[in-house]
A and B are shown apart, each in its own frame.
Chain A
């Protein structure tokens, strides 16, 4: 679960990390009101992706009128596929210098990594590439967290010794997001040192592990509903599906993430574009297939559907039954191509044939066929 900036800052504040005064605005009027209250503000698009500044999603406003105009321009804007639902109006800071602070999961090391750099505020990936030594790193022990001397070393290694005490204390607070919230990534970039010498989070990114949602229900309830920008993804989540919206026109259903990914690849190879990624998961029953088809057909861009199932634990007859029922219940008119192999494939194919669906023998042939059929109807 990727939190929006204002949500991440709420969380940081609850951990004791200073944030600038700010207000959420859903309308230009609310944005103007926020500026009247806070003085000059940065009006910032709230989307769960990076690069919003370059996309025109951050504007400075000195007066309520400017704040109104800025919000009117930003709300509803499309940033990397996310429609901006609201802006966050934040009091402008007196910036002395900018630091980078973050942690994430280092997959190679199978550990959390804390990173600190004096070169904050700019593209940290570029810094990492051009001068990797300017980013100090620490792998805290996952059972006891970072020790004081380790944090001290980190701060001095980053050549931020003059801020050693307040910085080490702040990093310790940020680290609490790992054991207490199951955060897998957090980033404060820039961590601003104000002209009066205080540390304040200028921006914030926070991602919570979805596998840990069962023990972080409070976070899910507070923030979950605001996060999904896409109506189909919201609906799919309600129905318990693993679903990601894409921008093509061929609906995809598969079982297993790897098989689904390779199905997207096949469709593209055949000259088409996938409208979504939808993983039925292992052992899918008829009902899951019905839910998947229902969500996919909600999207008017979809011109046809490709189902690619290889039964290991999943049974072909169950999948076929679910698909036929769903097609009939939903009165589906669009082209439907099915590749069904593995467990109970004979029974499954028989059910499909009896209901007017001619199954394809392999995934590549199926991908080519759905691309061809959707081109004809286009």
Chain B
């Protein structure tokens, strides 16, 4: 397992909102230690059975929270990330979709001052360690404890592939959704390096999509040698050039960034590439 284990204590930022509220309960239902929530002006109350604080710093002081899940609306997401980092949170998972790019660029610069803080997202489904806990919105029932590491840019494809793995009896060590925005926290490379060091992980599935060059960097890393049996999949090979496809990330720019470039990079690195998601499980076995 990576990033999330038995020592993970979560503060939910935006716990009293509709999304924050619902997913806090889902996280608790699978045993995640949610120790606090924040909601400015609602400090001192209790929500979903946990104490609510006005600020993350107060929550950390009072409960020892070391991780955070962010469910605040887009205009407040960047500030929420920086608040968490400044309060000493080590793993920040920002689920919020629709965060302005310039906000994320400033956040990335700010986080240079907090080298031990890791950010996942924004606009990501979060992560789950089956049987242990989750931060975010990945449905627990699609997962199964095991040895496959799964890292993905797409939410729904993560669910689909996770579910197919579980159905075939291949459990997962951890599932990490890095998100589809152009400016992100952790990259494929960051997450794969963690899986590489995790003794419980023996297999790896990488689900990328067109745009950017994180997949190419991941391929370079894997090409330098890995003990993980790996299958990669790239969505968007038929997307027309220059058309924007929802995820702001899915914009083709230059030669790198196309599905072809990404698939070739993986093949060159000796990584098998699935042409459809249905093929992934069979190729991994």
Contacts and interface: CB of A to CB of B under 8 A. Distances in A.
Given A279-B246, A312-B139, A259 B254 contact: no
Interface in A99-115: 105, 107-108, 110-112
Interface string B71-84: 00011000000000
Given A312-B139, A342-B142, A342-B163, A184 B101 contact: yes
Interface string A331-363: 000000000011100000000000000000011
Residue from the set B100, B156, B249 with the largest chain A CB neighbour count within 10 Å: B156
B130 interface: no
A10 interface: no
Given A182-B100, A342-B159, A261 B74 contact: no
Interface string A235-262: 0000000101010000000111111111
Contacts of A214: 74-75
A261 B239 contact: yes
A255 B102 contact: no
B96 to A, nearest CB: 10
Nearest to B22: A313
Interface residues of A, number: 54
Contacts of B125: 312
Contact of A125 (B108, B156, B184, B254): B254
A256 B102 contact: no
Contact of A143 (B106, B152, B244, B249): B106
B101 A343 contact: no
B102 A265 contact: no
A209 B278 contact: no
Nearest to B23: A313
Nearest to B106: A142
Interface stretch (B9-17, B33-41, B43-51, B204-212): B204-212
B139 A341 contact: no
A256 B155 contact: yes
A141 interface: yes
A341 B249 CA distance: 26
Interface stretch (A62-70, A152-160, A266-274, A288-296): A266-274
Contacts of B278: 362-364
**Interface of chain B, main secondary structure:** loop
- Using C-beta atoms within 8 Å of the partner chain, give the interface range for chain B: 35 or more
B276 interface: yes
A254 B246 CA distance: 12
Given A143-B106, A211-B100, A341-B163, A265 B75 contact: no
B133 to A, nearest CB: 17
Q: Is the interface of A mostly helix, strand, loop or mixed?
A: mixed
Contacts of A279: 245-246
B236 A261 contact: yes
Interface in A101-159: 105, 107-108, 110-112, 125, 141-143
Contact of A258 (B108, B184, B214, B247): B247
A178 interface: yes
Contacts of A108: 212-213, 217
B156 A255 contact: yes
Interface string B232-251: 01011111101111111110
Contacts of B240: 246
B182 A107 contact: yes
Given A214-B75, A313-B137, A268 B142 contact: no
Contact of B246 (A111, A277, A343): A277
A83 B139 CA distance: 44
A282 interface: yes
A310 B156 contact: yes
A343 B155 CA distance: 14
Contacts of A105: 101, 105, 182-183
Interface in B237-276: 237-240, 242-250, 253-254, 275-276
A257 B179 CA distance: 11
Contacts of B183: 105, 107, 110
A141 B105 CA distance: 9
Contacts of A226: none
Nearest to B181: A211
Interface of A: 49, 80, 105, 107-108, 110-112, 125, 141-143, 178-179, 182, 184, 209-212, 214-215, 242, 244, 246, 254-262, 264-269, 274, 277, 279, 282, 310-313, 341-343, 362-364
User: 8 tightest CB-CB pairs across the interface, nearest first?
Assistant: A258-B154, A256-B156, A262-B235, A259-B156, A212-B100, A312-B159, A257-B246, A261-B236
25 contacts: A49-B242, A105-B182, A110-B184, A111-B105, A111-B108, A111-B109, A142-B106, A182-B100, A211-B98, A212-B101, A244-B243, A256-B157, A257-B247, A258-B207, A259-B154, A259-B157, A262-B157, A262-B235, A262-B277, A264-B239, A274-B238, A277-B245, A310-B163, A312-B138, A364-B276
